Structure 1
Amino acid sequence: MALDPNDPRPPYQQVKGSLRASILTKQPGFQPGDKLPSGPALAKHFGVARGTVDRALDELRTEELIVTRQGSGSFVRERTSRPVGLRPHLEAAFEQQQVTLDFAGFSSETLHNALQEPLDKVRSGRFAPESITVRLLLPDTTAPMAVPVLVDGLQDEVALRERARNIALTNAGGIAHSVEMLAELGLVQKATVQVKVHRASSLFKLYILNRTEAFFGFYPLRERTVTINDDAHTFYDVTGKDTTLFHHVAGPDDASLGSQYVQQAQMWFDSVWGTIAYERQS
């Protein structure tokens, strides 16, 4: 099936668009786990050169729509089959000259841990970004929240909010110290960490890397019991370590699913940051 000669898009974009549409609409042969036709077969099908097909497949891989297994071919990605690892993508982000990282979530504990390896590589000289800008958007724990909340009657408990506040302060402070120290040591030209809070409870987490990648995941709620000042509290809490992250990548085409997701995620973050978020009191 030859491409439309009146379509102004380059051939590789037409091939990519056709394959993407088949994948997103789950056409027969393009459902999660299905193996795609071979490169030569696709080239013959579309009436294009093999290099055109290879470029289209490369971009579909970048958008996380397909995966290629050495010696086996390319397959439609099973997008919910397993969690996406944040750490390798975070390290790749630090290979850029200007690093930007926006986080919205409960405490930034996972981010604090994931940042240590790329920051170590900056300290050792393996990564050399010019600037690092981090923004953390967290809940205001000074007022009653949806979680944490006591199981009994879903009542607010100040001790639990203070515990959540201490966890958030520890991790945000650790991130700020580790990142800003790089500028003090002269390893980067500029390094800033800003923290703002808002009155909504965080029931999901969002990471945006260099405005080109977004990771989104829902916090599962779990019943837990902790002892604070000799008093046992049974409460509902979010569990970040159990969050499955969904990865979206902006492609060269602003109309692609990945590009639209990243754009909307960034728009949401910027709008909250600039309107209802405010500096946290120490």
Structure 2
Amino acid sequence: MRNLDPDDPRPPYQQVANALRAAILTRTFKPGDKLPSGPELAKRYGVARMTVQQAIRILRDEGLIVSRQGSGVYVRERTERPVGLRPHLERAFEEPKVSIDFAGFSGETLHGAIAEPIDKVRAGRLRPESIHVRILVPDPHDPWTLPARVDDLTDSPAFRKRAGRIMERHTYAIVDAVNELGELGLIADAHAEIRVVPAVPLFKLYLINNAEAFFGYYPVQEHTVKLDNEPTAMWDLMGKDATLFHHSADNDPDSMASQYIAQSAMWFDSIWDSVAREPTR
């Protein structure tokens, strides 16, 4: 029996969910594997069956597992619905060293997903040794080929200015929150940095702890916004409609998953160390 930590302030069902989530992410339970039954899990963790059911519900909502009537609960196959970013990001903050690299259009999704684990660090519920965050976004001072005006496919300085304000709001909030953890002495090594690039990515990429990657394409859709007090139709990149696909490295460095993580990290570093530069505000 694996008793839960009595000093952990989280409810038992969250502790069980975290333990099972870690087993899935580290491939102790592989895609397609059947999880132990509810009674078996209750005995393993020394909790009531209702607690296990609550934990299973969390993992099902996160898209990590699927229940099959009359058969049991299984780890979701890679080919099925992609899982969400947030639980994986929160799990990453339980590691001693946290590293997050993001390349994309605005950073809005990352801002929303990283807020809760940072709050847990402030409250003393999570205490990694280091947190490093790097953010790559397009330079709003350079002309863009996309987004573009619908009528003539030209760049819109007014749209770039508007997008730049949104970008700054989310990315600098992340930087300030992470750096504050170091300034307050809560984390010995906490650093976040933004760099801008002279191109707009048509995808978003998250690299977490050099072990996981989330990748999604930005759909291009017509979007009417008010620019210079005039409704303007733009071909916009709709980040909220981007489905993220999850990749996780394993113990085999030559596997497709491990190579995907390595190549994604290589791509990010190549941009960061070459054409990326500090933003001007």
Q: Per-residue deviation at 1:278?
A: 1.3
Map residues 22-171 of structure 1 onto 2, 5 A cutoff: 61=27, 65-68=31-34, 72=71, 77-171=76-170
Give the superposition deviation at 1:152. 0.4
Over 3 Å counting, the alpha-carbon distance change for 1:59 and 1:106 in structure 2 is: closer
Give the match for residue 30 of structure 1.
none
Contact 1:63/1:250 (8 A) holds in 2: no
Where in structure 2 are there 5+ consecutive unaligned residues?
1-22, 38-70
Identity %: 50
Q: Shift of the alpha carbon at 1:130?
A: 1.3
Larger Rg: 1
Q: How many angstroms apart in 2 are the aligned matches of 1:183 and 1:201?
A: 31
Q: Per-residue CA shift, 1:23-61, capped at 9, x if unaligned?
A: xxxxxxxxxxxxxxxxxxxxxxxxxxxxxxxxxx97994
Deviation at 1:81, TM superposition (A): 3.3
Q: Distance in 1 between matches of 2:84 and 2:25?
A: 20
Alpha-carbon distance change, 61 to 161 in structure 1, aligned in 2, over 3 angstroms:
same
1:227 deviates by: 1.0
Partner in structure 2 of residue 10 of structure 1: none
C-alpha separation in 1, matches of 2:24 and 2:79: 21
Letter of the aligned partner of 1:79 in structure 2?
R
Mark the runs of 5 or more structure 1 residues left unpaired by the alignment: 1-56
Amino acid at match of 1:182: L
How many residues are matched?
226
Name the counterpart of 1:24: none
Contact (CA 8 Å) 1:61, 1:67: kept in 2 or not? no
User: What is the CA deviation profile of residues 202-253 of structure 1, one whole-angstrom value per residue up to 9, with x for unaligned ones?
Assistant: 1000000010111111011111111133111110111111111111111111
Bigger shift: 112-121 or 64-73? 64-73
Following superposition, the deviation at residue 79 of structure 1 comes to: 3.2
What is the letter of the counterpart of residue 186 of structure 2? L
Give the Cα separation in 1 of the matches to 2:33 and 2:112.
28
Which amino acid is 2:32 matched to? I
1:66-110 CA distance string (max 9 Å, x none): 353555368695535323200000011001111110000001010
TM-score, normalised via structure 1 length: 0.75
CA distance in 2, matches of 1:211, 1:247: 13
Check the 8 A contact 2:25/2:248 in 1, yes or no.
no
Contact 1:66–1:74 under 8 Å retained in 2: no
SS in 1 for 2:200: coil
User: What are the superposed Cα offsets for residues 183-206 of structure 1, whole Å, 9 maximum, x if unpaired?
Assistant: 121110121111111112110000
Match of 1:212 in 2: 211
Q: Retained in 2: the 8 A contact 1:204–1:219?
A: yes
- In structure 2, what is the Cα distance between the partners aligned to 1:166 and 1:76? 41
Correspondence 1:186 to 2:152: no
Alignment CA distance shift 1:76-1:121 (3 Å): closer
User: Aligned ranges for residues 199-278 of structure 1 at < 5 Å?
Assistant: 199-278=198-277
Alignment-mate amino acid for residue 261 of structure 1: Y
Q: CA offsets, 1:115-170, max 9 Å, x none?
A: 11101111111110111110001111212212221100111111001111111111
Distance 1:60 1:121 in 2: 23
* Aligned-residue offset at 1:62: 6.2
CA change 1:225–1:58 in 2 (3 A) is: closer
Cα distance in 1 for partners of 2:93, 2:242 equals: 23
Bigger shift: 138-147 or 210-219? Answer: 138-147
